[in-house]
Chain A
Amino acid sequence: NAGVTQTPKFQVLKTGQSMTLQCAQDMNHEYMSWYRQDPGMGLRLIHYSVGAGITDQGEVPNGYNVSRSTTEDFPLRLLSAAPSQTSVYFCASTKRGPPNSPLHFGNGTRLTVT
């Protein structure tokens, strides 16, 4: 039982490049989400999904796309990377979604955009 698996752990991009951050969970959780963590800003929600085929925007969705074709996977796509997207990205899942289920976090992806 791996929990929430994120890849890659580290990534360096040049401005304008695109990439996909992978997230997979094996706990049969319906709810999955992406957060970015910046110093002094806490964790800010980018996008979330309450089930396969359903996605919605969080607090800071601009510049990011998501899809949820299966229950297990929830990739985050950066369309055209910008230095402002330098951050640590966490994927998190929970069985039934807010507000009553605790979030299980992946180990994070540290992204640098130059």
Chain B
Amino acid sequence: GQQVMQIPQYQHVQEGEDFTTYCNSSTTLSNIQWYKQRPGGHPVFLIQLVKSGEVKKQKRLTFQFGEAKKNSSLHITATQTTDVGTYFCAGGRGNQFYFGTGTSLTVIP
């Protein structure tokens, strides 16, 4: 079954509002990766977190990896219409990546 859960499944925000998606695993992960998929497109790699408690920033995006390496979050400050898409986390363990169910973000201009 699904080993990595992600919430919320959908999020609608007004342009300029903040957005956060959360990723939770039932088991400890080696690392966590985040991907973005535009409507009709394919997932594109955003970032990877490896260390417990790690925080990384990419412009308006902030990524965190939990202390126990079982959860992660992606926070977008002041959303823009270009942020529209589905955001997936993916946990690495063994020879497999386990993808979260994704959060679909809609930004209302």
Interface residues in chain A, defined as those with a beta carbon under 8 Å from any beta carbon in chain B: 31, 33, 35, 40-45, 48, 50, 56, 58-59, 90, 92, 97-100, 102-108
Residue of A nearest to B86 (CB): A42
B99 within 8 A of A: yes
A92 to B97, CA, bound (A): 11
Q: Which of B11-19, B57-65, B76-84, B88-96 contacts A (4 or more CB under 8 A)?
A: B88-96
Question: What B residues does A45 contact at CB under 8 A?
Answer: 96-99
A44 to B41, CA, bound (A): 17
B101 within 8 A of A: yes
A50 to B97, CA, bound (A): 13
Question: What B residues does A48 contact at CB under 8 A?
Answer: 95-96
| A58/B96 in contact, CB under 8 A | yes
